Amino acid sequence: MPSRTGLTGKVIFQGEPGYEEARKNWNPYVDTFPLVFVFAQRTYDIQNAILWARKHDVPIRFRSGRHALDKSLSEVKGGIVIDVSDMKRIKVYDKKGIALVETGNNVGPLVKTLASQGFMAPFGDSPTVGVGGITMGGGIGLLQRSIGLISDNLVGLQMVDANGRIVTADHQRNSDLLWASRGGGGGNFGINTHYVYKLHRAPKEATVYKITWPWNQLEEVFKTWQKWAPDVDRRLGSILEIFSRRNGLLQSTGLFLGSKRELEQLLKPLKSTGTPTEIFVKTFTYLGAVNYLIPSQPIPGRSDDNKKFSSNWAPHLLPEEAIRIMRRFLEVSPGMSSNFFFLNSGGALNQPQPNETAFYWRNSKFYLEWNASWNSPFEEQINLALVEKTRKRLLPFVEGSYVNVPDQNIKDFGAAYYGTNFERLKQVKAMYDPNNVFHFPQSIPPA
């Protein structure tokens, strides 16, 4: 076994105190047994870790918020995990309207810190996700129609490359790396130490809603939602979640950058569908709305179940047959938290050209993902097979896949995650990591 000489920061080898906690990720399905964790306290520790790993020929993974959804992305058996989660500095440059954010920050604490200073930045549906990973793949969420993806708001970054060198990227310097980092997916080019985000002035108030229905009204509700949500006022982000029949929850939630009166009007089609069991519409301060949508949770966070996800974009409304496939999955999926999740596209998300940043999927009506969950190892195979069968059946009705919700069953992953941007991403990879030091399942190969 290689000695620890040369490693700096908080170093935990297999068998040492803290190892068991260190190897736990949000999704127990992706946990494995790395050789060593380095919790970097500063950039210097990352540089040392990369040089150490290359000297001893140890496979490398980067980690920020531990929310990777498939295996061997931020943890690898026998490898080194360079974890930036102790690097949490945030500095707001008020006059410039930007924030420098170290990559160990998590989405919830970050957007709440910014909101308390009067700024708005995009966020997803969970407070515990790390900015390190979510930013690189895009970062979808309820504000994507008003201010774009998290990656659309990324204007600069600092990275340590495969030779341990510090690289800075923005619109002037290494702009190809910035382009690739806006949707190209984490782990490919180097380990990012900080991001620079463009900020938006937060409105004083925002309005949220939640509507729930009896589960067996899912077809009716889904059909209304998919017709209504993609073209509704762009200040309104809307999620529809349909859980397994065993769970029974069918709900839509959303965030509107406007008044309760306006939102009540916009929600009319949804409220008059089926027989809602709960309708909640409330205006909060902007920070209050964020707190309502993503209440604080312990970090790093851990799911009770193992989970397998897959994802797509819907270029057209889904026909009856696709809805039947979805219902079938939800009927037979044994897990309580198995579900289908939909998020409306349009607005600022669809404004850029697909090649303007590495994030390609700019023409969809909505995003969809589904996951199966299980506790016992005996249930794993059946759930993995169920997710895969559903993916194959849905293929005629959808396109692509979201690199932040990856699925290693996808063979042609380059086209699925990046469309025609894959070729340029390979070229950028060749510039910053020509020897493919940073490789993992479905990573971008150098051109």
Ligand X SMILES: Cc1cc2nc3c(=O)[nH]c(=O)nc-3n(C[C@H](O)[C@H](O)[C@H](O)COP(=O)(O)OP(=O)(O)OC[C@H]3O[C@@H](n4cnc5c(N)ncnc54)[C@H](O)[C@@H]3O)c2cc1C
Positions in the binding site for ligand X (CB under 6 A):
26, 61-69, 73-74, 84, 103, 124-126, 129-130, 132-134, 136-141, 186-187, 191-192, 404-405
Closest distance to ligand X from the beta carbon of 96 (Å): 23
Closest distance to ligand X from the beta carbon of 321 (Å): 28
Name the residue nearer to ligand X (CB basis): 49 or 69.
69
Cβ proximity of 168 and 174 under 8 Å? yes
d(CA 57, CA 250): 49
Give Cβ neighbours of residue 404 (< 8 Å, ≥ 6 apart).
69, 133, 134, 137, 138, 139, 140, 185
Q: Residue 276: exposed, middle, or buried by beta-carbon count in 10 A (0-12, 13-18, 19+)?
A: buried
Q: Which of 31, 36, 28, 30 is nearest to 7 (CA)?
A: 36
Closest distance to ligand X from the beta carbon of 134 (Å): 4
Name the residue nearer to ligand X (CB basis): 111 or 136.
136
d(CA 284, CA 206): 6
Closest distance to ligand X from the beta carbon of 191 (Å): 5
Question: 97 φ, ψ to 5°?
Answer: 70, 35
Angle at 308 between CA 303 and CA 314, to 5 degrees: 115
d(CA 149, CA 166): 26
Structure token digits, residue 344 = 């409306």
Closest distance to ligand X from the beta carbon of 255 (Å): 12
Closest distance to ligand X from the beta carbon of 65 (Å): 2
Beta strands, E only, 112-219: 119-120, 154-160, 166-170, 191-198, 200-201, 205-213
Closest distance to ligand X from the beta carbon of 398 (Å): 17
Name the residue nearer to ligand X (CB basis): 12 or 84.
84
Question: 130 φ, ψ to 5°?
Answer: -85, 140
- Torsion angle of alpha carbons 184, 368, 319, 243, nearest 10°? 160
Is the link from the previous residue into 300 a cis peptide, with omega within 30 of 0? yes
Name the residue nearer to ligand X (CB basis): 138 or 274.
138
Q: Residue 93: exposed, middle, or buried by beta-carbon count in 10 A (0-12, 13-18, 19+)?
A: exposed
Closest distance to ligand X from the beta carbon of 214 (Å): 26
The b-or-e profile of 133-158 (16+ CB within 10 A means b, else e) is bbbbbbbbbbbbbbbbbbbbbbbbbb
Name the residue nearer to ligand X (CB basis): 66 or 365.
66
Name the residue nearer to ligand X (CB basis): 373 or 421.
373
Name the residue nearer to ligand X (CB basis): 180 or 325.
180
Name the residue nearer to ligand X (CB basis): 63 or 200.
63
Closest distance to ligand X from the beta carbon of 429 (Å): 13
Q: What single-letter DSSP state applies at residue 178?
A: H
Name the residue nearer to ligand X (CB basis): 59 or 130.
130
